[in-house]
Amino acid sequence: MLSPQDIAFYHEHGYLHIPGVFTPEEVKAMHNDLDWMIETWADKEAGWSGPWRKKYMDAETEKKSKLIAMHDLYFYAQSWMRAVTKPNLCEAMGDLIAGPVEVHHSTMHVKPPETGHPFPMHQDNAFYEHTDNRYVDVLVHLDDTCHENGEIRFLAGSHKNGYLPHVTKNEDGTGCTPHLPTDEYRLADTVAVPAKAGDVVCFNIFTVHGSHINTTHEHRRIVRVGYRHPENKQIGGQSKGRPGLMVIGRRDRTEGAQLFSNDGPPSQAMLKELRELRQMKRSMEVKV
């Protein structure tokens, strides 16, 4: 699917726009399911936290700005299972990763109208840290993007610098969403990559990127899908330890590799209960 020039562009600049990956019919089915998920499942919260918010937005906008988000869309709707396993997209990932490919995650990022959440400059490795750069993030576009609704923007070639230290604390020392220092990394220095519904925009896990606020009267709907080489070991963060579908080639058996567990994953409620029990145990240990 990709030409040698496309592959060379990705390795040189750290991103690649692939037009027309999905047909209008596929986009319609994904769009309908996404709107249903927004109604029934998704979080509609303030979005990413941290000191960057005051730099990117005035006080009134900042209070209103929200992000509609949710993970793992393909666990909820068939159209999204078909989307992430679509052969032309997976073959393109095989070309960029140069080997077998495993799906790692999918995440909805919908910017609501007028004040829809901008994204501070960051690397996705801060959210799901991996050992090497054989990891491609893919932004599946369900709406046409432009400056006014906050198209994706990249610091071209920044993937070559590897993993950068991110700000992870507010001024009062409490934790915040990882992002790069706003005085050093600026959206003004980035390349805008506007795209059409049905296009995908790919980027390397180490490519620095961000986006402006959505000032239009419509939602801006994008879904990010992560694809990796199965031997690119995850060090921390989102979806760590969870196997994904093989969409290109095979998962070779490396030294010491065991079959995956078939115990079901704990629910969010069970995890919360477990955290509370651990917390209680710790406080009792202190008292004894």
Ligand X SMILES: O=C(O)CCC(=O)C(=O)O
Binding footprint of ligand X on the chain (CB under 6 A): 109, 119, 124, 150, 152, 209, 211, 222, 224
Q: Residue 204 is which amino acid? A: N
Nearest distance from C-beta of residue 185 to ligand X, angstroms: 13
How many Å apart are CA 171 and CA 57, to the nearest integer? 17
Structure tokens at 151: 């198209």
What is the rounded CA–CA span in Å between residue 182 and residue 194?
23
Among residues 65 and 211, whose Cβ is nearest to ligand X?
211
In the complex, the smallest distance separating the C-beta of residue 136 from ligand X, rounded to whole angstroms, is: 12
Provide the H-helix boundaries in the chain: 4-13, 24-40, 52-56, 59-64, 78-84, 87-97, 268-287
Instruction: Tell me if residue 111 falls in helix, strand or coil.
Output: strand
Q: Report, in Å, the least distance between residue 143 CB and ligand X.
A: 11
CB of 194 to ligand X, least distance (A): 12
Decide if 10 contacts 38 (C-beta within 8 A): no
d(CA 126, CA 39): 29
Nearest residue to ligand X by CB is: 211
Minimum distance, C-beta of residue 282 to ligand X, in the bound complex (Å): 34
DSSP secondary structure letter of residue 114: T
Between 150 and 244, CB nearer to ligand X: 150
* C-beta closer to ligand X: residue 95 or 124: 124
Residue 227, token pair as written in the block: 């694809």
Q: Toward ligand X, which CB reaches closer, 237 or 249? A: 237
Q: Which is nearer to ligand X, 78 or 168 (CB)?
A: 168
| Minimal distance, residue 119 CB to ligand X, in Å | 4
CA dihedral over 236, 91, 247, 194, signed as positive or negative: positive
Q: Which is nearer to ligand X, 22 or 48 (CB)?
A: 48
**What is the token pair recorded at 41?**
């499942």
Name the packing angle between helices 87-97 and 4-13 (round to 10°): 60
